[in-house]
Amino acid sequence: MKRKKDPYFDSIDSIHKSLELKPVIALKNFFISSSSSPHDNYSIPISSVSKKGPEFGLSIRVLRFLRNYPSFFEEFEGPLYNLPWFRLTQKAVELDKEERLVSEQFRDDIVTRLKKFILMSGTRKMLPLKIIKGFRWYLGLPDEFFKDPLDYVKGCGRFEIVDIEDGLKGLSVFEESNNGNKRKIFSTIQKNAMNSGVYSGGENEAIAFPLFPSKGLRLKQKIKDWLVEFQKLPYMSPYEDSSCLNPDSDVSEKRLVGLLHEVLSLFVEHAAERKSFICLKKYLGLPQKVHKCFERHPHIFYLSMKNNTCTAILKEAYCDEVAVEPHPLSNVRKKYIDLMKESVVILRSKRGSNSRAINQENADSNDLGVFMGLVSLERCLGRDNKKNGRVKSNKQVTFLTMSTALRSKYVFIQVWC
């Protein structure tokens, strides 16, 4: 199916600026964790971070990257050898405090999203910490979680660190139960269907996915007919065991769409790079060509190619404000993006000031050259008159030149011939 561009989804800054913001926040967190002077806005020398570019996913030098974001990082001369030092700006410090406050206040919400993410892994109910770390940006997990995962999730359910293959560690979840019966977890699709009165919570009930066609997107008639029948199929929750399903059936396809819908609904921006789902194939039971599912359902997902990155976006989250619960950190991320945009204004202002200074210097140099040329001409004419024994006439030759160095006033140099 040919992809159709949608300007609305391609212009959402909270999604497309997120990739640019990610290394900025990682460096901001490094400043806070590494600096020994929080009273000075967490200042550190450039030498302590200059060789850590790959750790933050940078393709350019760290020094250049820091200078690209003066609204986050303030440069100043260090106490020794005039080496560059950097510290966080006051606005960045205040936003960091707000982010930590929100993370603490809504810890239960963030852990619940992590728990749901793990419970979609089938009967194992476990994900490697390595995988969770790869999705930390999308889930909004703070650095404190990875220092001691069990301490961070304490009081939010029963978790356990387990050993898995290849010497990796995993985080498993034990499902909660009431009187010996497992407590059922409902997906976002199921909750909205129950609120609308079209779903009673039973098994094998059909739930139609909300569709949001992009303007100008037309489907072939046979695809429309298939979609009508697809919507009538039973809906299987992504938290239920799907091992009994035929992987080539339409019911399995609908279960996959529901799983991708639920995963994206848990994320901060309700969007993620499409390639990030590749590492989830083994643990969430995804098919080999899971990326094709986004293409086959353009009324549910949108694939944006902005910034040379294929990003999968959950349409419902941006077309129905009450359908998908917003992530607690979504507003803080937007404030970070607004602060990041201020760097563009600051750099543009600096470039304008430097350009005016260079132009002024060049103008002064040119005026000095013209003045010295006229002085030389006067001396040559004087020597020539003296050599030929000429008598000065009353005729006056006036040389007129414009001098910006002398505040655009006319300078007259009179030479008697």
Comparing 122 with 360, the larger pLDDT belongs to 122
Within a domain: residue 394?
Answer: no
The pLDDT value recorded for residue 371 is 52
Same domain, 78 and 123: no
| Residue 277 or 357, more confident | 277
- Residue type present at position 39: H
What does the mean pLDDT of the chain come to? 86
What is the structure's pLDDT at 401? 43
For residue 391, is pLDDT > 60?
no
Does one domain contain both 336 and 317? Answer: no
Alpha carbons 316 and 61: distance in angstroms, whole number: 39
Mean pLDDT is lowest, of 40-44, 175-179, 275-279, 346-350, for 175-179
Q: Is residue 138 one of the residues assigned to a domain?
A: yes
- Region 112-136 average pLDDT: 93
Query: Is residue 24 scored above 60 in pLDDT?
Result: yes
Do 333 and 294 belong together in one domain? no
Assess whether pLDDT exceeds 80 at residue 215.
yes
Instruction: Let me know if residue 267 belongs to a domain.
Output: yes
19-53 b/e (C-beta count within 10 Å ≥ 16 → b): eebebbbbbbebbbeebeeeeebbbbebeebeeeb
The domain of 147 spans 107-176
Cα torsion angle, 162, 163, 166, 167, sign: positive
- What's the pTM value of the predicted model, to 2 decimals? 0.83
Residues 216 and 276 in one domain: yes
| pLDDT (0 to 100) of residue 388 | 55
Q: Do both 286 and 215 map to the same domain?
A: yes
Residue 386 in this model has a pLDDT that exceeds 60: no
**398 band by pLDDT with thresholds 50, 70 and 90:** very low
- Average of per-residue pLDDT across 107-124: 93
Q: pLDDT grade, residue 410 (50/70/90)?
A: very low
Q: Is the pLDDT of residue 403 over 80?
A: no
- 248 and 309 co-located in one domain: yes
Instruction: Determine the pLDDT at residue 243.
Output: 84
Instruction: Give mean pLDDT, residues 309-320.
Output: 96
Task: Tell whether 201 and 270 lie within a shared domain.
Answer: yes
Asked if residues 319 and 25 have their Cβ atoms less than 8 Å apart, the reply is no
Position 93 in a domain? no
**Per-residue pLDDT at 180:** 55
25 has pLDDT over 90? yes
Whether pLDDT at 333 is above 50:
yes
Q: Select the more confidently predicted residue: 102 or 122.
A: 102
Of 176, 206, 230, the position where a domain reaches its end is: 176
DSSP tally for the chain: helices H, then strands E: 17, 13
Please tell me the predicted confidence (pLDDT) of residue 271.
97
Q: Does 160 share its domain with 195? A: no
The domain tally of the chain equals 3
214-218, 272-276, 339-343, range with the lowest pLDDT = 214-218
pLDDT at 395 over 60: no
State the amino acid at position 11 in one-letter form.
S
Instruction: Quote the CA–CA distance of 266 and 188 in Å, as a whole number.
Output: 9
* 138-169: pLDDT as tens digits: 999 999 999 999 999 988 888 999 998 878 89
Q: Is residue 311 part of a domain?
A: yes
Show Cβ contacts of residue 29 under 8 Å, excluding neighbours closer than 6 positions. Answer: 143
Residue 116 has pLDDT above 60, yes or no: yes
Residue 182 lies in a domain: no
CB-based contacts of 244: which residues, under 8 Å, 6+ apart? none
301-317 average pLDDT score = 95
pLDDT in tens, 190-201: 999 999 999 988
In a domain? residue 396? no
pLDDT-derived band at 385, boundaries 50, 70, 90 = low
- Which run of H or E residues covers position 231? helix 221-231
40 pLDDT above the threshold of 90: no
Q: Residue 352: what pLDDT? A: 72
pLDDT of residue 417: 36
What pLDDT is stored for residue 66 in this prediction?
97
Rounded distance, CA 329 to CA 3, Å?
31
Alpha helices per DSSP H over 267-396: 281-284, 291-296, 315-319, 330-387
Q: Which of 323, 341, 363 is the last residue of a domain?
A: 323
Q: Are residues 30 and 151 in the same domain?
A: no
For residues 235 and 315, state if they share a domain. yes
Question: In the prediction, which pLDDT does 321 show?
Answer: 86
CA dihedral 18, 23, 29, 32 (to 10 degrees): -130
Write out the two tokens for 136.
Answer: 């930390």
pLDDT at 416 over 50: no
Query: How many Å apart are CA 168 and CA 153, to the nearest integer?
Result: 20
Query: Which backbone phi and psi does 308 adopt, to 5 degrees?
Result: 55, 30
158 and 197 fall within a common domain: no
Among 300, 323, 346, the domain boundary falls at 323
Q: Residue 177's pLDDT is what?
A: 65
Query: 350 falls in which pLDDT band (50, 70, 90)?
Result: confident
Same structural domain for residues 297 and 252? yes
| pLDDT for res 280 | 93
In a domain, 376, yes or no: no
